[in-house]
Structure 1
Amino acid sequence: MAIIGLDHVNISIPVGGEDKARAFYADLLGMHEVPKPDNLSASGCWFERGGVSLHMGADPEFTPARKAHPAFLVDDLAGLRAKLDHAGHETRDDKPVEGYDRFFAFDPFGNRVEFMQLI
């Protein structure tokens, strides 16, 4: 047995948070919403872009992930940061990682998200 890839990342959102998730992940980040399977369609939403699949699961006992996070590779880190800042989303730098420029932001629910660009 060997792990051969990553299928998706799941992030929790509060029940009823789908519209805020769409505004952040689709409208700001440019991900595309994809249909969920019928047997999973009760709540939450799924997004994809560039081979990355992100599943948003609605949790009635939601608590934001303040440390755990997905890290997205992007091709215009400065432009994305300006877009997030302009939209009122907090961004912050962290310790450097060799070979990357990067920053962290928080989605509308307080989940931590990292954005990285190869240098």
Structure 2
Amino acid sequence: MFISGVHHIQLTAPPGCEPDARAFYIGLLGLDEIPKPRSLQDRGGVWFRTGNCDLHISPRENDTPPGTNWHVALRVKNAEALRRKLQEAGARIDPAPEIPGWKRFFGYDPFGNKLEFLEIA
């Protein structure tokens, strides 16, 4: 087998997205920002650490999020508390169909990227 894991996920956002990305991914989700390599810093965007996989937010002009079923799934602790926190901050929240053994919901970042949040029940 050649694949040993997932290195990073890249989502897109409008140019100038960095302050809103930091407010959402650091302020609401509690992720840590990681430095971008010097060779990529002039492209804008911001990178975060999500456990053993990085999340890259990259600016793209006139780029819209993919179809409604495309999403990134993130394992979380205390999904209900996170749902309330996101709701209080004005983030869009959608229910998710039940999957036995999991508590889950969908939320959206400020750029319309769909995120699934899952906790082992």
In structure 2, the partner of 1:85 is: 87
Count, aligned residues: 119
RMSD across aligned C-alpha pairs, in angstroms? 1.2
Among the aligned pairs, what percent are the same residue? 40
Gaps of 5+ in 1: none
The residue aligned with 1:56 is 57
Q: Which runs of 4+ in 1 moved over 4 A?
A: none
Q: The residue matched to 2:10 in structure 1 has which SS?
A: strand
CA distance in 1, matches of 2:26, 2:69: 23
2:104 matched to which residue of 1? Answer: 102
Match of 1:31 in 2: 31
- Partner SS, residue 47 of structure 1: strand
Q: Does 1:73 align with 2:85?
A: no
Q: TM-score, normalised by structure 1?
A: 0.94
The answer for unaligned runs of 5 or more in structure 2 is: none
> Would you say 1:5 and 2:5 are equivalent positions?
yes
Post-superposition Cα deviations, 1:61-88, rounded to whole Å, max 9, x if no partner, equal 3212343211110111011001001000
The aligned amino acid for 2:3 is I
State the AA in 1 paired with 2:18.
E
TM-score (norm: length of structure 2): 0.92
Letter in 2 for 1:51: N
